[in-house]
């Protein structure tokens, strides 16, 4: 009886180890970060500034991100305005290398003084490692955002 129990225990351990995170490591919220590069928060009317948002893979693993829209968004709008994205029904698979980034860049230039809000966010996206096939509904879903940053545009003569 003891041999049978020991054999069963070893069988269970073998099954557990083959289905552990080594076969499908599940990323968590800390596997990625969304960072915004803001060279200036005050610019002169007519001056051109480039802003960048980057979703960074903080792990040593390659992942495929699956979203119904582009993954990273970057907007600069007059204060009080909101952007409403159009949702499409096509899945966009995107590969992100270990330690790599998915970036979105916007050049901003206006002649109209005022306050503008720079914001960045990701669409909701699912994550799977490489080309590993996972059962439907088991892909972890993520969404990140950066708080709006005021960008002040002053008149050229100020």
Q: State the DSSP H helix or E strand holding residue 50, giving kind and residue range, or none if neither.
A: strand 49-57
Angle at 79 between CA 75 and CA 80, to 5 degrees: 100
Helix H or strand E segment including 13: helix 2-18
| pTM over cut 0.85 | no
Q: So where are the chain's domains?
A: 26-154
Extract the tokens encoding 107. 């050049």
Q: Which CATH code is given to the segment(s) 26-154?
A: 2.60.40.3880
Summarize pLDDT for 39-89 with one digit per residue, the tens: 999 999 999 999 999 999 999 999 989 888 889 999 999 998 887 666 655
Three-class SS state of 15 = helix
CA atoms within a 13 Å half-sphere pointing along the CA-CB vector of 66: 17
């Amino acid at each position: 009886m003891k041999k049978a129990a020991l054999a069963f225990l070893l069988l269970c351990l073998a099954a557990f180890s083959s289905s552990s995170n080594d076969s499908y490591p599940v990323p968590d919220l800390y596997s990625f970060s969304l960072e915004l590069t803001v060279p200036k928060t005050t610019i002169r009317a007519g001056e051109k500034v480039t802003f960048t948002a980057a979703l960074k893979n903080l792990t040593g693993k390659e992942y495929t991100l699956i979203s119904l829209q582009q993954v990273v968004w970057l907007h600069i709008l007059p204060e009080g305005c909101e952007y409403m994205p159009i949702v499409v029904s096509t899945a966009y698979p995107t590969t992100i290398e270990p330690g790599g980034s998915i970036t979105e860049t916007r050049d901003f230039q206006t002649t109209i003084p005022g306050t503008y809000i720079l914001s960045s966010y990701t669409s909701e996206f699912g994550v799977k490692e490489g080309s590993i096939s996972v059962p439907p509904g088991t892909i972890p879903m993520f969404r990140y955002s950066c708080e709006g940053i005021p960008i002040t545009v002053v008149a050229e003569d100020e």
